[in-house]
Structure 1
């Protein structure tokens, strides 16, 4: 899952994709309706790739949490962000058992699930581990074929 150009803009609903940087800010495109907006440098903007969640062990990047959600639901939609707070916190406990209960709030979980479901609806949830496993499987299939002739040569000698 690549969150490098996905933005959350304070005061604007939904997620945006960074399109072009300008002298006074940048142009972003809404994922919900495709409209382009200009954002000045004074706006409070967060790149999803830079967001982390507090855990007892430190901080965990948002991309890893979204990958865990994707794995749990096989890249399908997660539970609704409109569920009650207890349900949301219990869900996060399933996905990220080590999250810090004192510093992570239900509103944070609502944002994460809302963002995940938005990205999933746009087909932007791709499990990188599955892609890596596919690439490794291709390499493993190719490797035995190249090794077999070497083994055959040793047998002939």
Structure 2
């Protein structure tokens, strides 16, 4: 399972993996109940790997936010997305202190936490995010 093939479909709860692609759309599988079904190109789809969270200085990829949550929670589930808005905002400040509170709404935070918990329940391997980050952004080594 990769974030590049994991999507959210507008109007459908949960997350889905793209199984195959056709001219008219995709065949997806729900991460929750493992049911497979087709979706057409007319559905509004968001690939998790392409989503970013606004901060005051830049946009932070969702995968980095997931990694931070995963490290904070030691690979376990996080707080419920059904918590009150104040709790959600305070938690998100711990995860991403400089997130833009005027452009990132509590509803956005709810989605991020809900998606994270769905990935945990589906036994997503967050080390794959670290590996892809390292191959995309190799760290410069210092010369002595």
Instruction: State the TM bucket, normalised to the shorter chain.
Output: 0.7 to 0.9
TM-score (normalizing by structure 1): 0.80
Q: CA deviation at 1:127?
A: 3.4
Q: CA deviation at 1:37?
A: 1.2
> Does 1:34 find its partner at 2:50?
no
Whole-angstrom distance in 2 between the partners of 1:78 and 1:120: 9
Whole-angstrom distance in 2 between the partners of 1:41 and 1:81: 29
> Does 1:19 find its partner at 2:19?
yes
Q: CA deviation at 1:126?
A: 2.0
Matches within 5 A, 1:8-157: 8-128=8-128
SS at match of 2:59: strand
More helix by share: 1
TM-score (normalizing by structure 2): 0.87
Whole-angstrom distance in 1 between the partners of 2:19 and 2:2: 15
Whole-angstrom distance in 2 between the partners of 1:33 and 1:129: 24
CA root-mean-square deviation? 1.8
Q: CA deviation at 1:128?
A: 4.9
CA shift digits 1:106-128 (9 cap, x unpaired): 00000000000000011104235
Whole-angstrom distance in 2 between the partners of 1:127 and 1:72: 14
Whole-angstrom distance in 2 between the partners of 1:129 and 1:112: 16
CA gap of 1:42–1:61, structure 2 versus 1, over 3 A, is: same
SS at match of 1:102: coil
CA shift digits 1:114-143 (9 cap, x unpaired): 0000000111042358779xxxxxxxxxxx
Q: CA deviation at 1:57?
A: 1.1
